[in-house]
């Protein structure tokens, strides 16, 4: 649900951030952290009035160790600007979440566990995260991981704050691993049903190849009644990056594998960063337009066909429209839902039942306020059933934020 948070403070140093946080909490205020505001509607809305603390002034590259391929960044630096800095040294941060407007911050990407197609090759921000410096509600500044000065109670603090959406601490600084900027890139794109995509993906993974991304994109799911789930049309995209000779060789080998799987691939110059072509279309599916919702499902990689079929059935039954962008080899599936709030809510509930039946999980990331209202009317919410680790998660929350002042309500009824 949309949450307009008034920014009351914008500290320009970790020390000021810690002092500000301590003062607010001691004064009885609840706090929500604000970065580039690209994910302000993620999670549940604040359960009480909050004071907005912005990271916009924490926007510097503190160190770029090109020889070690690491960097120390303040959390409020826009990801796009950080990438420009690293590119000057022929390096990159291997994170490519959808970033309309270029305002997403590095801290926001880490705090919200956001990612893009490059996750197939390089992992998520969690895998690139070497260390953090955070401000805790009591005003403590703590480091963990790379350049360790102080750890907190034995926790792996860097991993704990990843995906915590500001509910445990304010991320002030981040230490990240970098990668060489590839000399060139190329993408194979082929029309492929879900069944063909699963088969082709398994063949590619079994071969001595190193794709940086494998994506299946299906649009208009549920528009056709009575069709076979395995024949549902879409496109398979497989990207390679590296030296010109290496990319050319892997493209040729992959094209032969896809042809053996019954596909007719074409080579395009679409860049995986989501600025053009099929990757731009996939990025659009992962960000909501006006009146739309975005749901993220996680399953076993081999469940893509069942996931797509479940979404198509749910959309058709609910009278909603649905598009799907899936990291085909990772089991991560993003759906963009459109239609009336009631139709989107019913579609989400039915698709969640299908995903839970596969042993997976499903969260509603982004949506209009009206969809939350519709979800309440049918007895569900954006987060769904709590995870089995909820007691442990609540214990960690109590340890870091005993007064529950950070991001109150962001995880709904979970804490």
At 222-236, the pLDDT tens digits run 776 545 555 678 999
Fold match flag (34-180 vs 184-377) = no
At 325-380, the pLDDT tens digits run 999 899 999 999 999 999 999 999 999 999 999 999 999 999 999 999 999 999 99
**Would you list the domain boundaries of the chain?**
34-180, 184-377
At 130-140, the pLDDT tens digits run 999 999 999 99
Contact yes or no for 80/99 (Cβ under 8 A) = yes
Starting from the edge strand earliest in sequence, which strands make up the sheet with 129-135, in order? 61-65, 70-74, 170-177, 129-135, 141-145
Per-residue pLDDT for 150 more than 50? no
- Rounded Cα distance, 63 and 67, in Å: 12
Residues 188-217: what's their mean pLDDT? 95
Q: Which fold has domain 184-377?
A: Vanillyl-alcohol Oxidase; Chain A, domain 3 (3.40.462)
- Rounded Cα distance, 107 and 166, in Å: 10
What's residue 226's pLDDT? 46
Per-residue pLDDT for 271 more than 90? no
pLDDT bracket for residue 6 (50, 70, 90): confident
Residue at token pair 């039946």:
357
- Structural tokens at position 143: 């480091």
- Rounded Cα distance, 314 and 336, in Å: 13
What's residue 155's pLDDT? 62
Q: What is the Cβ-side half-sphere exposure of residue 414, based on CA atoms within 13 angstroms?
A: 25
Residues 32-40: what's their mean pLDDT? 90
Q: In the chain, pLDDT over 90 holds for what percent of residues?
A: 81
Residues 31-51: what's their mean pLDDT? 88
pTM: 0.91
Q: CATH number of the domain at 34-180, please?
A: 3.30.465.10
């Amino acid at each position: 649900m949309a949450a307009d948070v008034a920014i009351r403070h914008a500290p320009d140093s970790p020390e000021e951030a810690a002092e500000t946080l301590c003062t607010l909490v001691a004064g009885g205020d609840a706090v929500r952290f604000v970065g580039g505001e690209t994910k302000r509607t993620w999670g549940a809305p604040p359960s009480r009035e909050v004071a907005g603390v912005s990271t916009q002034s924490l926007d510097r590259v503190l160190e770029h160790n090109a020889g070690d391929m690491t960097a120390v960044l303040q959390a409020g630096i826009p990801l796009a600007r950080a990438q420009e800095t690293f590119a000057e040294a022929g390096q990159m941060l291997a994170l490519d979440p959808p970033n309309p407007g270029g305002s997403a911050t590095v801290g926001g990407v880490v705090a919200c566990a956001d990612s893009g197609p490059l996750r197939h090759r390089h992992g998520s921000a969690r895998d690139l995260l070497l260390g953090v410096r955070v401000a805790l509600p009591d005003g403590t500044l703590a480091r963990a991981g790379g350049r360790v000065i102080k750890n907190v109670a034995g926790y792996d603090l860097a991993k704990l704050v990843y995906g915590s959406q500001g509910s445990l601490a304010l991320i002030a600084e981040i230490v990240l691993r970098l990668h060489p900027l590839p000399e060139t890139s190329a993408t194979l794109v082929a029309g492929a049903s879900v069944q063909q995509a699963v088969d082709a993906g398994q063949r590619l993974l079994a071969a001595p190849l190193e794709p940086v991304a494998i994506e299946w994109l299906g649009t208009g799911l549920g528009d056709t009644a009575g069709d076979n789930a395995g024949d549902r049309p879409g496109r398979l995209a497989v990207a390679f990056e590296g030296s010109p000779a290496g990319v050319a060789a892997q493209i040729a080998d992959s094209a032969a594998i896809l042809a053996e799987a019954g596909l007719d691939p074409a080579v395009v110059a679409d860049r995986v960063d989501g600025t053009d072509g099929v990757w731009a279309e996939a990025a659009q599916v992962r960000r909501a337009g006006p009146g739309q919702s975005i749901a993220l499902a996680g399953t076993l990689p081999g469940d893509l066909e069942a996931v797509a079929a479940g979404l198509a059935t749910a959309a058709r039954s609910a009278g909603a429209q649905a598009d799907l962008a899936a990291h085909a080899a990772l089991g991560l599936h993003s759906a963009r839902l459109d239609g009336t709030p009631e139709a989107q809510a019913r579609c989400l509930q039915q698709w969640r039942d299908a995903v839970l039946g596969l042993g997976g999980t499903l969260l509603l990331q982004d949506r209009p306020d009206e969809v939350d209202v519709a979800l309440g009317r049918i007895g569900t919410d954006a987060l769904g059933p709590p995870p089995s680790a909820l007691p442990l998660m609540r214990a960690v929350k109590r340890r870091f934020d005993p007064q529950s002042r950070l991001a109150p309500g962001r995880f709904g009824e979970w804490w």
